Structure 1
Amino acid sequence: MLKRRDFLKTAGATAAVLLSRRGMAAQVAGGANSNLSFSSESMELELSPTAPEFLSLNIDGLAKSRRGANIVTARKGDGGYGVSASTSGGVRRVEYRAEGAGADSPAMWTFVISGSRILLTSQWSGEFNSGPFIFRFDLNQVHSTVLGLFAKSGLLSAPALLHFPGQGSMRLTSSAPDLELTYTSNRPQQAAMLSLPGADFVHQRVDYTLDVTAIYPDLPGVGDDPRFDAFRRNWLNALQLNPSLQALANNTASDSCAFCYYEFADIAALTPPLADGLTALDVVRQTLDRMLAGGFAYGLPIAPDHPTTTSDTFPSMVIAAGNCIRAGHSDDWLAANYSGVRAWAESMLASDSNGDGLIKYSESGNSGIWSNGFPKIRPSNWWDTIGFGHEDAYANALAYRAYRDMAMMAVKAGNSSDAGRYQAAADKLREAYYDRFFDPATGVLAGWRSADGQLHDYYFLFVNGIAIHYGLVTKPQANSIMDKLLAKMKAVGYNNFNRGLPGNLITVPLKDYVHRTPDARYGGGVLEDNSDGFQNYENGGATGAYAFFTLAALYDLGREADADKILFPMLDEYGRCGFEGKDAKGHSNDWRRWDGTPMGYEGLLTDDYYTMLAVPLRQTESPWQDGFRPEMPLT
């Protein structure tokens, strides 16, 4: 512990040593630090003997004594504190005092640990500066995140929710909510930090409460079925807040992609409150506010590789706004932001250059327009290494949903004229969709129709799934499409469903592939048929990303057995944290070859966890009788 005159000299000196292990033994028996360890059904931890910080921490939000990887790193060296510990009635009390302070002086930091709760108390001292309590998250071990709302100062407000993929969450509340928290992340170091300020002259005692929990939708048949334990622990994995951007992102230390915002909002819309006064949709609204204020996210125009907005970006943001409005308590937000959200929808309408009802992308999507090496121009949607362009079947499915959401918001805003326009746009799009994208040669929907009129069809599972789930094809058409896709999947030999699904079942040839390198690292190689790139990254690599739409189509059609063959192996893999982490080469498990070889790079990709949405759909699906699937928003 430092006296005030020395404090500023060393504040921020945080050289860290990684203390990694899987499954630390239960509470340490004997030894000098045995009183600084604690183990229960909900958590396992060890505190430092020299400073108020965790040496190790892992939790189980389901209170089943499941042990996970260490969430934190710790500093080296002497922290300048003395420590005392006691146990009474199963409650561990650990007090940290400044070195040299008397035993009867107030503890700078006190931990009271019991069951599923940690109470952290900081008390002010006129002689010593207690300093903050800091969580130092090791993202290579656990891709932790903190969900909350940022104040105008740029600091995070309490309450907040700390979420740990594979383990569960800790709800953080404060007795002094006006004391704001410092939350940062560092991509190169794969680290994040949350700092809780200590007591000061104004706030002479501050209590922080950390409650271990698991937050997920309350669904029939889930709570007592261990097959869904991974769903319950990992429901929130799709929501990762990057503090540098103050926006939801690919992960805590990665990019924010505007074309993913609808995924975040779909998960958030079904999520129970994170804490009193804090919902997941609040965090989504915060992300949208940033965009409405002129913020940047991947998918918007940026020189040189995105000359225009991708076709799925504006639909994604409109759908995210629609989720916020449909859930309620957002009328004032809609009134303040209707014109901004409307501008996104108007941009979609304006892209329909020939008036056929389908949105268009600026790049033609013609075969052979892509050059070798790193992409100089990106294609029209999330799948940014495949040559989607012009009329994009996936983006147009999103646009259909977005137009309907925009019509709903127009009604809420009292604008009947806009409501009619957007509903008419949705109807016109659906009328054109099937005939424009159906490929009679394969019996499934193609990925895109290029400006030269050609269809580009590589058995895209997600394209066909989203079209069925969003009601763009009739039930007989949908069943026929799924028959063809499942037969093709069997024919090509893909059955490793624990790894998710490929986006495409056959290779995308080089003429339609965007990212080409001699080693085919990102799915584009050197052979004309691109067989040397197949199964790498987006070219048929197995992933949890967008597997939801195939599952949704099957559940929509009442084909539960077919869907369950995919879903439950994936849930098992989520339970093993199999979609995250990196190998010795730095390749991550968010994309894998069919044999399991990692081909991703993010470490954790939030899109992989959108598949969790299949569980609420499975448990609450309404029968689809005939015609187009009716709109049945999960919210």
Structure 2
Amino acid sequence: MTQDLLALSDHEPPMGDLFTDARLDTGRAVWTGRLPGEREMAKKRIVHQRVVRLHGEAKLLRLGLRRGQGYHKCGSRQDLDWVTSLRVLGWTGGRWREVWRGDDLRAPAVGAVRWIKLPQMTVSGVILEVRRSGIDDGWTPWNLAMSAFVLEGELLVPIAPRQERLLTLESVELSGLPRGVTAEVRDGSVRYRTREFEVGFAVGRPGFSFFGLHVEDDANAGINLLTTRPPLFHQGPQLHPLGAPPLIAPAVRCDLEGAVRVKGATVRYAFSTGGQHYTLTWRVSSQGLELRAERSAERALFAWHSAAWQIGLRNSASPSQVLGRLLMDGESGAVALPALLTLPAFGSWDIRSSSPAGWARSDCRRSQDVNTLELKVGEERTPEGMYRLPAGTHRAIFTLTPHRPGALLHASAPAVAKRAVARTRWTALTFRSDTATLSNNGASMHCPICMDTWSAIAPGLGEVFPGLPATEFLRLSLERWLTGGPGYAAGRLLQGGRAHDADDEYLMTGASALLGLGNFLRQTATRGWFREYRPWITAKLRAAEQRDLDGDGLIESAYRTGVSGTSQWSTCWFDVISFGWKDAFANAILYGALGALEGGLERCDEKAEARTLRAWAERLKLNYRAAFWNEQTGWLAGWRCRAGKLHDYAFLPINGAAVAVGLIEGAEARVMLRRLLTEAARVRMPDAALGMPGNLWPIPDFDLADIMQGYPLGYYQNGGRTHSQTRHLIMGLYRCGLTREADRLLKRLCVGFADARVFGGNQSGVDWRYWDDRPCGYEGLLTDQFGVLEPILWRWGAQASRS
């Protein structure tokens, strides 16, 4: 019977409406090099696949191509992308064969399916690898891979039946526990407690049942950071061989045979499945956890998914991130050990392996509220994104130790600032290993519009491990942006059937990323790195220059006019406020970028280009004040729209940024910022501990995007309190000599960090607050919040010499 192989569901548990959404198809992200015809692509990039994990053989018939959702890079619309280059791979005869390849594919008509007849090949696995797309070209989007295909074929082997089995419990003996460790048996698991963490081990199948960390705050004791929704079990060993049903998977399959034994603080799992034999021995001490992992087999095995141990973490509790050196081949997310598993508001685990045979992989499944960390033993990554488990015996000893960051501030720094830095130093590096970029948070979108924030703090954070500086994550993020990797407000947008750079709408994305690039070139980049990326850097600079539409040095958006009543989205980070045409925030960031790039290019011996940028910066400064100064208020407005009108709602970050970069200086800068502080007192701006509003005056609906209309002052970006972007006001106050005022606000901002009250689990909303303290955000943690580390380190850092 002919059917769409991409629409096949695996079995659900027979327990009602649990909706595990177990499917035979899934999306995957893989590192790739250049194939013939891809010379202009980056040497390394991530592309996306749609795979069919068949339980046996199927006959392929034809492939349908249609337009599908592209990368959702702008909240105001969803573009339909299309596949322009594709490889179809089939698993047959114990290897991958190219079934079909197409390049320069034309776009299907909207709503139509273009059919391609495939060789009638019998396969037991399929990969649809999107090499290029119509909008974003070589960095192909996940959404497109998951929506652009119909794959018709005949299933020759039915979906395998459910197969759940339990381990034999040999014994549980809890005597002789190490000092500082207590234990109890409850709810089908053995749970251990120490002063800094709690861990539970399921006895029915191998895996954690509880994973808690309170190294930062005793109040976190008793909170389980794992995802635990029955009957899904995202914990412990995982194994899905190619061409066969899963052997150990989160739902309906745990096809193993073995036993578990608990003696004191040692939990030993020994079992076999699919010709693989595992012995996994955990030891708990007051200092941390140790896993002695051994895997042996007589024959090699290829697998879609494999892990000696997986930890499935609940992003609504804490959006985790893994900080380690990326292994840039095979399925994305692979990380060499040592690495830090950071759990915002809870602390970090230092994870190490005794051998290179032990490594890790991090992945994000946002729709399932899950981030996973996999520990691998003796596994080889394949170019297709699979795993080869070689024959023989493979061993590694993993250690997981609660981690406290070292001191960054000098001894005389305020205690609240020291605690703020201790709780945010690694949380601030909101890196996604599976996508190789800093992001909104470890379970959220990529956002190059924050590159200026990352470059402001990364150098001061030092090394995560010896030889792994925080600037490594900035480098990876810059490389992705330079070579076309899409993100929120970054990449390409479609309008009238033609794609244009998202930076033409979100002016601040290009400005922010150029500032990050300038700081990296000035402080960190090698000459070799600059030479490799010079063509992309030059292209970005030329594109930025072309955004000065009227020759005054300021950049403008031809797409977003800023005119009242248009309900348009923004040209800057405040994306649901209708900034447009000439944007005071984006241009202040751009001015800082031009200065940083001038210094960076001079360091790289690009003196002529540096002079060009210096002249541009001088022209921008000459015209900036006149473009945005509001004579009625004595400070800068937010934007001047295409109709020539100023739009001023007493924006704190914008005025601070203009002073911080030197666009407004001296006595005038001091008077301007004092006026704003006086106005903040007049309108009774709340305590800054939970953040500061971006604007002091309410923004009427006619200057807001449609989704923001109808809400009062204090809701989200219309005056909501947040730590995001507050660094600009603080640095501006310091720049113009208002040190006492800056210290007062900065210490209060530190309180929110020190108490971890302003960042939390996804959808907790604590990243924004009404003026009455109620949460009104969405993510729960936004990367921009941690820009506050810039003034903290500038003022009280160990290298600081300011009085």
Aligning the two structures, in what range does the TM-score lie when normalised by the shorter sequence?
Answer: 0.7 to 0.9
Task: Give 1:420 shift.
Answer: 1.0
Report the Cα distance in structure 2 between the residues aligned to 1:415 and 1:307, rounded to whole angstroms: 25
Deviates more, 1:432-441 or 1:202-211: 202-211
Render the CA deviation track for 1:581-615: whole Å, top value 9, x for unaligned.
Answer: 479xx661222211123222223222222223231
Does structure 1 conserve the Cα–Cα contact (< 8 Å) formed by 2:317 and 2:761?
no
What amino acid does structure 2 have at the position aligned with 1:231? V
Counterpart in the other structure of 2:197: 43
- The yes-or-no answer on 1:603 pairing with 2:758 is no
Structure 2 SS opposite 1:598: coil
Counterpart in the other structure of 1:54: 208
RMSD: 3.5
Counterpart in the other structure of 1:124: 295
Cα distance change, pair 346–196 in 1 and its aligned pair in 2 (3 A):
same
* 1:165 equivalent among 331, 344, 348: 344
Deviates more, 1:294-303 or 1:573-582: 573-582
Counterpart in the other structure of 1:194: 373
Structure 2 SS opposite 1:603: coil
Counterpart in the other structure of 2:312: 136
- The yes-or-no answer on 1:94 pairing with 2:267 is yes
Render the CA deviation track for 1:273-325: whole Å, top value 9, x for unaligned.
Answer: 22244332222222222223322112234135959342111222222223333
Task: Give 1:135 shift.
Answer: 1.0
Does structure 2 conserve the Cα–Cα contact (< 8 Å) formed by 1:60 and 1:67?
yes
Render the CA deviation track for 1:101-149: whole Å, top value 9, x for unaligned.
Answer: xxxxx97112233344433221123489995211101011112111232
Report the Cα distance in structure 2 between the residues aligned to 1:64 and 1:540, rounded to whole angstroms: 33
Counterpart in the other structure of 1:320: 516
Cα distance change, pair 308–556 in 1 and its aligned pair in 2 (3 A):
closer
Within 5 Å, give how 1:555-594 maps onto structure 2: 555-581=734-760, 588-594=765-771
* 2:563 equivalent among 367, 375, 381: 367
* 2:682 equivalent among 460, 483, 491: 491
Does structure 2 conserve the Cα–Cα contact (< 8 Å) formed by 1:158 and 1:174?
no
Render the CA deviation track for 1:560-586: whole Å, top value 9, x for unaligned.
Answer: 443344333433333443223479xx6
- The yes-or-no answer on 1:548 pairing with 2:548 is no
Deviates more, 1:107-116 or 1:304-313: 304-313
Task: Give 1:396 shift.
Answer: 0.9
Structure 2 SS opposite 1:297: coil
Task: Give 1:623 shift.
Answer: 5.8
What amino acid does structure 1 have at the position aligned with 2:259? G
Does structure 2 conserve the Cα–Cα contact (< 8 Å) formed by 1:71 and 1:137?
yes
What amino acid does structure 2 have at the position aligned with 1:495? P
Report the Cα distance in structure 2 between the residues aligned to 1:623 and 1:551, rounded to whole angstroms: 15
Does structure 2 conserve the Cα–Cα contact (< 8 Å) formed by 1:269 and 1:323?
no
Report the Cα distance in structure 1 between the residues aligned to 2:200 and 2:368, rounded to whole angstroms: 24
Report the Cα distance in structure 1 between the residues aligned to 2:161 and 2:200, rounded to whole angstroms: 24
Counterpart in the other structure of 1:71: 225
Does structure 2 conserve the Cα–Cα contact (< 8 Å) formed by 1:314 and 1:345?
no
Render the CA deviation track for 1:230-289: whole Å, top value 9, x for unaligned.
Answer: 321222223223355332211222211221122123222222222244332222222222
Report the Cα distance in structure 2 between the residues aligned to 1:452 and 1:220, rounded to whole angstroms: 51
Deviates more, 1:469-478 or 1:482-491: 469-478
Deviates more, 1:248-257 or 1:178-187: 178-187
Q: How many residues align?
A: 579
Within 5 Å, give how 1:271-290 maps onto structure 2: 271-290=461-480
Does structure 2 conserve the Cα–Cα contact (< 8 Å) formed by 1:183 and 1:195?
yes
Report the Cα distance in structure 2 between the residues aligned to 1:556 and 1:307, rounded to whole angstroms: 29
List gaps (5 residues or longer) in structure 2: 1-54, 56-158, 166-179, 234-250, 379-388
Report the Cα distance in structure 2 between the residues aligned to 1:68 and 1:261, rounded to whole angstroms: 36
Cα distance change, pair 12–612 in 1 and its aligned pair in 2 (3 A):
farther
- The yes-or-no answer on 1:394 pairing with 2:590 is no
- The yes-or-no answer on 1:212 pairing with 2:402 is yes
Cα distance change, pair 9–471 in 1 and its aligned pair in 2 (3 A):
farther
Cα distance change, pair 9–323 in 1 and its aligned pair in 2 (3 A):
farther
Counterpart in the other structure of 2:175: none
Structure 1 SS opposite 2:671: helix
**Higher relative strand content:** 2
- The yes-or-no answer on 1:234 pairing with 2:424 is yes
Deviates more, 1:132-141 or 1:544-553: 544-553
Cα distance change, pair 557–9 in 1 and its aligned pair in 2 (3 A):
farther
Cα distance change, pair 499–184 in 1 and its aligned pair in 2 (3 A):
same
Cα distance change, pair 510–229 in 1 and its aligned pair in 2 (3 A):
same
Does structure 2 conserve the Cα–Cα contact (< 8 Å) formed by 1:505 and 1:540?
yes
- The yes-or-no answer on 1:511 pairing with 2:702 is yes
Calculate the TM-score normalised by the size of structure 1. Answer: 0.82
Does structure 2 conserve the Cα–Cα contact (< 8 Å) formed by 1:385 and 1:513?
yes
List gaps (5 residues or longer) in structure 1: 1-5, 15-25, 101-105, 372-376, 517-521, 526-531, 625-635
Report the Cα distance in structure 2 between the residues aligned to 1:447 and 1:332, rounded to whole angstroms: 40
Structure 1 SS opposite 2:571: coil
Cα distance change, pair 83–569 in 1 and its aligned pair in 2 (3 A):
farther
Calculate the TM-score normalised by the size of structure 2. Answer: 0.66
Counterpart in the other structure of 1:453: 644
Deviates more, 1:434-443 or 1:236-245: 236-245
Report the Cα distance in structure 1 between the residues aligned to 2:358 and 2:669, rounded to whole angstroms: 54
What amino acid does structure 1 have at the position aligned with 2:488? Y
**Higher relative helix content:** 1
Report the Cα distance in structure 2 between the residues aligned to 1:345 and 1:47, rounded to whole angstroms: 54
Render the CA deviation track for 1:162-216: whole Å, top value 9, x for unaligned.
Answer: 1111122223233443665332212222211111123564661112232322336
Task: Give 1:31 shift.
Answer: 4.3
Does structure 1 conserve the Cα–Cα contact (< 8 Å) formed by 2:357 and 2:395?
no
Render the CA deviation track for 1:482-526: whole Å, top value 9, x for unaligned.
Answer: 21111111111112322201110001122322234xxxxx3x22x
Does structure 1 conserve the Cα–Cα contact (< 8 Å) formed by 2:665 and 2:736?
no
Cα distance change, pair 324–44 in 1 and its aligned pair in 2 (3 A):
farther
Counterpart in the other structure of 1:627: none
Cα distance change, pair 217–613 in 1 and its aligned pair in 2 (3 A):
farther
What amino acid does structure 2 have at the position aligned with 1:319? L
Does structure 1 conserve the Cα–Cα contact (< 8 Å) formed by 2:309 and 2:376?
yes
Report the Cα distance in structure 2 between the residues aligned to 1:12 and 1:474, rounded to whole angstroms: 71
- The yes-or-no answer on 1:467 pairing with 2:658 is yes
What amino acid does structure 2 have at the position aligned with 1:138? R
Report the Cα distance in structure 2 between the residues aligned to 1:58 and 1:538, rounded to whole angstroms: 34
Counterpart in the other structure of 1:501: 692
Which protein shows a greater Rg? 2
Does structure 2 conserve the Cα–Cα contact (< 8 Å) formed by 1:61 and 1:233?
no
Report the Cα distance in structure 1 between the residues aligned to 2:635 and 2:424, rounded to whole angstroms: 33
Structure 2 SS opposite 1:590: coil
- The yes-or-no answer on 1:342 pairing with 2:538 is yes
Deviates more, 1:461-470 or 1:425-434: 425-434
Report the Cα distance in structure 2 between the residues aligned to 1:266 and 1:478, rounded to whole angstroms: 22
Report the Cα distance in structure 2 between the residues aligned to 1:10 and 1:93, rounded to whole angstroms: 34
